Amino acid sequence: MLADRNASAIVAVSDIERARTFYRDILGLTLEGEVMGDALIFRAGQTQFTVYSSPFAGTNKANAMTFAMQGDLVETVQALAAKGVVFEHYDIPGMVLNGDVHESGPTRLAWLADPDGNLIHLVEGMPVQK
């Protein structure tokens, strides 16, 4: 039924203009379009996701979106930190925090929040099991 359909993230925000600035100017994503004045469509790699205005923005305390990095996680974290992005730090068994990056062998993870507190997860080197 859904196995052959594409999926994408949808992220609730309280201020659509603030979200536009964050996702376009801070994260550097391409704004592909707008829907009815309260939703923005962004491109990330070969996918799109929606950012929309909602009174429930910021109520999700789990990851809202994940980006698969390609050997550039550390550089990306440094570039975002230079733009004022603050990264989340967690106590994760088996992982070492190196600056803003959690590491365990080839796996590197970082988390940041958008202005509404939606968690964005950057992942590199995590093996996928089939």
pLDDT at 2: 67
**DSSP class of 107:** E
pLDDT at 4: 83
pLDDT at 128: 60
Distance CA 49, CA 129 (A): 25
What is the topology classification, in CATH, of domain 10-124? 2,3-Dihydroxybiphenyl 1,2-Dioxygenase; domain 1 (3.10.180)
Q: Which amino acid is at 8?
A: S
Distance CA 119, CA 29 (A): 16
- pTM, two decimals, is 0.89
**DSSP class of 13:** E
**DSSP class of 115:** T
Domain coordinates in residue numbering, the chain: 10-124
**Average pLDDT of adjacent 10-residue blocks, the chain of 130 residues:** 82 97 97 93 95 94 92 96 97 95 95 96 78
Largest CA distance in the chain: 46
Q: What are the angstrom distances between the C-alpha of 17 and each of 14, 79, 98, 101?
A: 9, 22, 33, 29
pLDDT at 35: 92
